Amino acid sequence: MTQRILVWDVPTRVFHWLQALAFGGAYLLAFSERFRDYHDTLGYILLGLLVFRLLWGFVGTGYARFSSFLFKPREILAYMRSMFNSKPGHYLGHNPVGSLSVWLLLALGLFICVTGVMSLQDDASDQVIYLHGLATKIMLGVIFLHLVGVLLSSFLHRENLVRSMITGYKSAQTGEGIREAYLWVGLLMVLAVVIFWFTYAHKPLG
């Protein structure tokens, strides 16, 4: 008998959506010198979010910890084969293929932020600027594959993964969910982002 259980805590969900907004906004604003301050501010916000996620990966709730989605190569390959057979194994947290996108998004995000900060320096080299742009393009590709994987997994498992990342809940035949959502941590994250935005984004829109 299936039951509705809490899988994703609030900080993990807040990070997920704020990361998407920060990267997406920074990318869209990167092509206009007029909005350069906004691009830079969103980049710093993304860097702060990633640093938090690295810490939360060690001290957060069960399914948010890195140890919960650290799969061996043979486990990832086995899951990929099972997807082609339309009978993939079900995971409450990140599945083996989904974990790949998480690791790539974290690594690429950090690389983009670091090269972005380096490119703001007066003595920034063309190579740093090039790597920043190249990593951004790769990031877009990973995001596209991630979205495809989410849709495919939602179809194969008959569950709405987007909704679960909004509500935090999944339906499963086990009661192994998390007990604490840590709402207060998520609220502090949002407050910190808002304060940082209004403090450092100086140029008015329009």
DSSP per-residue codes, 27-61 = HHHTT-GGGHHHHHHHHHHHHHHHHHHHHHHHHS-
Question: Residue 5, SS3?
Answer: strand
| Residues 6+ positions from 188 with CB-CB distance below 8 Å | none
Question: Is residue 52 domain-resident?
Answer: yes
Q: Residue 169: beta bridge partners?
A: 6
183 within a domain of the structure (yes/no): yes
pLDDT of residue 132: 97
Domain of residue 180: give its range: 3-200
pLDDT at 140: 97
Would you state the pLDDT for residue 82? 83
In a domain, 73, yes or no: yes
pLDDT for res 26: 96
Q: Is residue 72 part of a domain?
A: yes
At residue 154, the pLDDT reads 87
Return d(Cα 193, Cα 46) in angstroms, integer.
Answer: 9
Q: CA 162 to CA 168: how far, in whole Å?
A: 10
Q: What is the pLDDT of residues 90-105, one digit of tens each?
A: 888 999 999 999 999 9
- Write down the pTM of the prediction: 0.91
State the CATH number of the domain containing residue 119. 1.20.950.20
Taking the CB of residue 151, how many other CB atoms lie within 10 A of it?
A: 12
If one counts the domains in the chain, the total is 1
Tens digits of pLDDT across the chain (206 residues): 678 899 999 999 999 999 999 999 999 999 888 888 999 999 999 999 999 999 999 999 999 999 999 999 999 998 888 877 767 778 889 999 999 999 999 999 999 999 999 999 888 899 999 999 999 999 999 999 999 989 988 888 788 999 999 999 998 777 688 999 999 999 999 999 999 999 887 654 44
DSSP alpha helix (H) spans, the chain: 10-29, 36-59, 73-84, 96-119, 126-157, 161-167, 183-200
In three-state secondary structure terms, 203 is coil
Predicted confidence at residue 204, as pLDDT, reads 47
| Backbone Cα Rg of the chain | 18
Q: Do residues 146 and 95 lie in contact, with contact meaning Cβ atoms separated by under 8 Å?
A: no
